Structure 1
Amino acid sequence: MAQINICLKHIFTVFNIFFMLAGGVAIALALWYQFFMDVRGYNLEGRSTQLFILYVVGCIAMMIALLGAYGAHKESKVALIMFLVFMVIGCLVMLIIGIPAAIIHPQLKGIVEQTFRRFVPLDKSSEDVRNMAEVIQEKFHCCGLFSYKDWENIPDSCVCSQEEEKEGKCQTVENNTFMLQRMSVYTKTCFPTIMDHIQFHYNIMLVVSFTLAVLALLGMILSSIMIHQLYYPNRHTIVVSMMPPKYEELHNTPAY
């Protein structure tokens, strides 16, 4: 005989579907991000850890969802207890990640700007930084992180085409490479574009962490109720009736 309320089972099934979808979204984001970076020739070195975490979180979320669905369907105490433990751990981990990230969020731009200013002048930075800067300049038609002066010797990736000069996207500057030769470079700097991308991915991390934390909390509540029903199957929900009790009607026997 079933010991878990059938409505609760349905609710828990819907929950596990959402939880599985959340894991699938995490995996899809990792795949999209990896494809996005590979197509544009960006160096993934240093980002492999973040991608690995997204893959692991997505796979674990999907496996936990399957465990919860199995536990509810088979009314398995062991599976539901394991599910509850994973939910507690997952909720704590997501809050540990999400809360500090949310606190840092208002200061994110200042922190990133301070970090990027250490790369100036770009000519004297590491080869990876120079290559990344030139790829970004070619892709987004910008020059320098904060100014074209970030380069002591302005590279070709900063040079405008004639069409862009006509559109007013360029400025004429002096390049130290060829005896102060004047050249036309992009007016737009690269840091605002880079910052937009960082903000976008940072916001995704916040949304994913707090969404998983809320789902984990909901999973804790639902699984706890089902475990309680399995351990105390004879305790029924007390329903208080607002209708007055029926009493037998007393009829006076008519006198003849």
Structure 2
Amino acid sequence: MGKINGCLKCIFVFFNVLFAIFGALLIYGLLQTSASYKGEFSSLNVPGLIFWVFAICFFGVSSLGIFATCCESIIGLKLFASFMGIGMIIMLYCGITVARRRHEIETAFRDELQRANLREEVLRSMVEGIQSNFHCCGLTSPGDWVYEIPDSCKCSNGRYGGSGDFGSPRCQSKPQGIRGPDEIYEQPCIIELLNLGFNILFGFFFGFAIIALLGLLIAICMINQIKSDNSRESMYLRKY
């Protein structure tokens, strides 16, 4: 009979198998990307290096958790718990850093978008899709379209002026001297893009921090179960 609760062991191994598969898929995707671009992205590229470290750590730590749990190894579980603790601290630090530097990131992103040329077909199609889905107009303002505002900016289901109903877009008159719909969305798309981007980042960092915390707590629980069982065995041997 195992020293770790069978149900707890199965759940822990199951989720670690899922995470190991996810890590393996990330590694496979990175290998395919590297093969496709053949050196266009250097291996010393900082974002690429971060992805590689994340994928390898994800796969390696999950594999360690599976091995340590199946073998009921205290050393392996302690090592796994240490990685979970470090990972949780890193994720929390990154999430808090992004939250504190949000204004700087927004400013840099805004400056970059202001240099964008909406006359380029690929960028124009992308922005029009964003406008239709997020009910916004222009990257930084409707004036980004220069001469003609597309129909995707047309505001027909919102309120003109005021704060608008909850969840409904606000409308405004189109700028003077620009062709296009008479009423357009008031909100520029950069706000929607930034909000979406930050929500994804916060969800990623704090979500993985919670997962790491749960992994740490379960690992500690299993370590205590093994120690408790070992203590009972020692007492039994001393008694007999």
TM range (shorter): 0.5 to 0.7
Partner residue, 2:40: none
Q: Provide the residue aligned with 2:5 in structure 1.
A: 9
After superposition, where does 1:28-43 map in structure 2 within 5 Å?
none
- The correspondence for 2:109, drawn from 105, 116, 123, is 116
In 1: Cα distance, 2:151 partner to 2:54 partner = 33
Give the AA of the match of 2:202: N
Q: Closer, same or farther in 2 for the Cα pair 1:201/1:57, shift >3 Å?
A: farther
Q: Counterpart of 1:173? A: 175
Alignment equivalent of 1:101, drawn from 91, 95, 105: 95
Q: Secondary structure at the match of 1:122?
A: coil
CA radius of gyration, larger in: 1
User: What corresponds to 1:177 in structure 2?
Assistant: none
Q: Structure 1 residues 159 and 19 mapped into 2: Cα distance closer, same or farther (>3 Å)?
A: closer
**How many angstroms does 1:102 deviate by?**
2.1
Q: State which drifts further: 164-173 or 200-209.
A: 164-173
Confirm whether residue 156 of structure 1 aligns to residue 123 of structure 2.
no
Partner of 2:189: 190
Choose between structure 1 and 2: higher helix proportion. 2
What SS class does the counterpart of residue 235 from structure 1 fall into?
A: helix
Partners in 2 of 1:127 and 1:70 — Cα distance? 55
Question: For residue 203 of structure 2, what is the amino acid of its counterpart?
Answer: I
Distance, in Å, in 2 between the alignment partners of 1:49 and 1:126 is 31
Compute the displacement of 1:231 (Å).
Answer: 6.9
> How far, CA to CA, are the matches of 2:226 and 2:157 in structure 1?
70
| Cα distance, 1:137 vs structure 2 | 1.9
Partner of residue 70, structure 1:
70
Q: 1:94 touches 1:210 (CA, 8 Å); kept in 2?
A: yes
Deviation, structure 1 residue 52: 7.8
The 1:55–1:138 alpha-carbon spacing in structure 2 relative to 1, beyond 3 Å, is: farther
Query: Deviation of residue 92 (structure 1)?
Result: 0.8
Q: Counterparts of 1:22 and 1:87 in 2: how far apart (Å)?
A: 18
Inter-CA distance 12–181: structure 2 relative to 1 (3 Å threshold): closer
Q: Identify if the C-alpha distance between structure 1 residues 149 and 165 changes in structure 2 by more than 3 Å, giving closer, same or farther.
A: same
Q: Is the 8 A contact 1:123 1:153 kept in 2?
A: no
How many equivalent residue pairs?
203
Match in the other structure for 2:82: 88
Contact kept, 8 Å, 1:137 with 1:144, in 2: the verdict is yes
Q: Percent same amino acid among aligned pairs?
A: 17
Question: How much has 1:10 moved relative to structure 2?
Answer: 4.0
User: Is the 8 Å Cα contact of residues 15 and 219 (structure 1) preserved in structure 2?
Assistant: no
**SS of 2:136's equivalent?**
coil
Quickly say closer, same or farther: Cα 1:138–1:102, change in 2 above 3 A. same
CA RMSD of aligned residues (A): 4.5
- Summarize the Cα distance change of 1:181–1:195 in structure 2 as closer, same or farther, 3 Å threshold: closer
The answer (yes or no) to whether the contact 2:68–2:77 under 8 Å persists in 1 is: yes
Once the two structures are TM-superposed, the CA of residue 94 in structure 1 deviates from its matched residue by 3.1
Q: Is the 8 A contact 1:91 1:214 kept in 2?
A: yes
Partner Cα separation in structure 2 for residue 127 and residue 149 of structure 1? 18
What TM-score do the two structures reach when normalised by structure 1? 0.56
- Structure 1 letter corresponding to 2:195: D
Note the C-alpha offset of 1:95.
1.5
Q: Give the Cα–Cα distance (whole angstroms) in 2 for the partners of residues 156 and 84 of structure 1.
A: 59
Aligned to 1:253: none
Letter in 2 for 1:113: E
Tell me, which stretches of 5 or more residues in structure 2 are unaligned? 27-46, 161-170
Structure 1 residues 157 and 88, CA, compared in 2 at 3 Å: closer, same or farther? farther
